[in-house]
Amino acid sequence: MTDHENAMHDDDAVETPAVQYTIEYDDVVEAVDATADAMTDAVETAETLADADDADATADADTTVGDGPDDDAAAVEVTEVPAETAAEDSADTEADGGTDTAASVAAATDVATASRVASSLDQELVEEEDTAARDAVFRSYPLLALQHVTLAARGGGNLWEDLSLTFEEGRSYGVLVDGDDRRHAALVGLLTGLVTPSQGMAVMKTTNLLEIDPLALRGHRIGVMLPQLALRDDLTALQNVTNAMEASNRNFLKPMPTIARELLDATHFGEHDDEAAKPAHGVDTLGADLGPVDWHRAAIARTVCTDPEVVVADEPAADLSGEDVDEIVSLLQAQVTTPDRRRAVIVVTTDEHVAGSFDELVDLR
């Protein structure tokens, strides 16, 4: 290598800067911009070094010793360089080259790292946007809704007119109604698909209840707890639960009696401080012989035994008082979120205390 080349490497060499970047997760856009600027600077510096080396190589190739008289004046003076000096120059050149190479490798490594970080941040942003979009879509379709429902009465007039209600997954609702039994019963019928509206419609997510197969709707889509029909008097507590499971036409991962016992245990069936209040035959006690608290406990177990998406309970604590009411309300509230399901629990009642015990109060009086 010539003295000119050594001089260029020793005095004019430009070190390739290491790319520095800071990722601030609280301001992702600025962090990505800073990374992009650092990558651009590193590339421009590398191109400048390459251009300088190419120019020096071209100049050396064009310098020759002339043969004619005019060329003698411009001839390059060749001076013999001692071996020791040449060795030292070679060592210096290799050292400079090694430094440049190390800097270039560091720059390339930092650029690659910055690129990976930027790509990762971009992916996180996309995933967050997708998640937000999915959540927005699910929020826009309530689990159960009445949309501008009108129900005409047989004798004229309307029991309900232009009624719109929405019930979301993972929430409980206390729907407070007045003492009009017809309006009360009609509302429960509209919410469960047992009554067809004169106008408007009842929907689950985006599907009209009238379009859902009745066996699926009443078998496992909506669990209904009615005061008159919650339990059969001629069946035991255990049989009441397994009978509902069999009627649902669903497949279960465990034997039905096993699941029924687990559900009854979860409601604290048969647990009483007063020994006299305990059912005489445990889960094999007939429905007609159950005390009021155990009757409601078994009714709740029967309502949720098919794992419904929605639970509609009509006056679930009508014949109870004091702490017994609070216990049944708590059991219904516990059905909102279970290890396997997030559902909507809707309680229709004339009792202000009961209605106000749930996540949201809907006053229709």
Do the Cβ atoms of 118 and 35 come closer than 8 Å? yes
Q: Which domain holds residue 184?
A: 144-363
Are residues 164 and 117 part of one domain? no
| Mean pLDDT of all residues belonging to the chain | 78
Nearest in space to 292 (alpha carbons), one of 265, 259, 327, 260: 327
Domain harbouring 279, CATH code? 3.40.50.300
Q: State the residue for tokens 């609702």.
A: 173
Bridge-based pairing state of the strands 199-204 and 207-208? antiparallel
Q: List, in order, residues 6 or more apart from 126 with CB less than 8 Å away.
A: none
pLDDT in tens, 216-225: 998 889 999 9
Amino acid identity, position 11? D
Are residues 186 and 39 part of one domain? no
Mean pLDDT, range 300-315, rounded to an integer: 96
Mean pLDDT, range 88-107, rounded to an integer: 52
Are residues 151 and 105 part of one domain? no
> Hey, is 145 helix, strand or coil?
strand
Are residues 179 and 87 part of one domain? no
Are residues 179 and 129 part of one domain? no
Question: What does the longest C-alpha to C-alpha distance in the chain come to?
Answer: 134
Do the Cβ atoms of 245 and 256 come closer than 8 Å? yes
Are residues 151 and 96 part of one domain? no
pTM: 0.63
Are residues 101 and 48 part of one domain? yes
> Hey, is 169 helix, strand or coil?
coil
Q: State the residue for tokens 């604290």.
A: 268
pLDDT in tens, 14-38: 444 444 444 444 443 444 344 445 4
Are residues 163 and 269 part of one domain? yes
Nearest in space to 151 (alpha carbons), one of 100, 113, 187, 103: 187
pLDDT in tens, 118-164: 666 666 665 665 555 554 444 568 999 999 999 999 989 999 999 99
Of 83, 112, 140, which residue sits at a domain end?
Answer: 140
Are residues 150 and 291 part of one domain? yes
Of 125, 140, 155, which residue sits at a domain end?
Answer: 140
Are residues 192 and 329 part of one domain? yes
Are residues 42 and 15 part of one domain? yes
**Residue 156 region, left (φ>0) first, then alpha (ψ -120 to 50), else beta?**
left
Confidence of residue 5 (pLDDT cuts 50, 70, 90): very low
Confidence of residue 276 (pLDDT cuts 50, 70, 90): confident
Count Cβ atoms below 10 Å from residue 363 Cβ, excluding itself: 12
Are residues 226 and 181 part of one domain? yes
Nearest in space to 223 (alpha carbons), one of 333, 310, 126: 310
HSE, CB side, 13 Å, CA atoms: give it for residue 66. Answer: 8
Do the Cβ atoms of 46 and 16 come closer than 8 Å? yes
Of 118, 140, 162, which residue sits at a domain end?
Answer: 140
User: Could you give the number of structural domains in the chain?
Assistant: 2
Do the Cβ atoms of 210 and 238 come closer than 8 Å? no
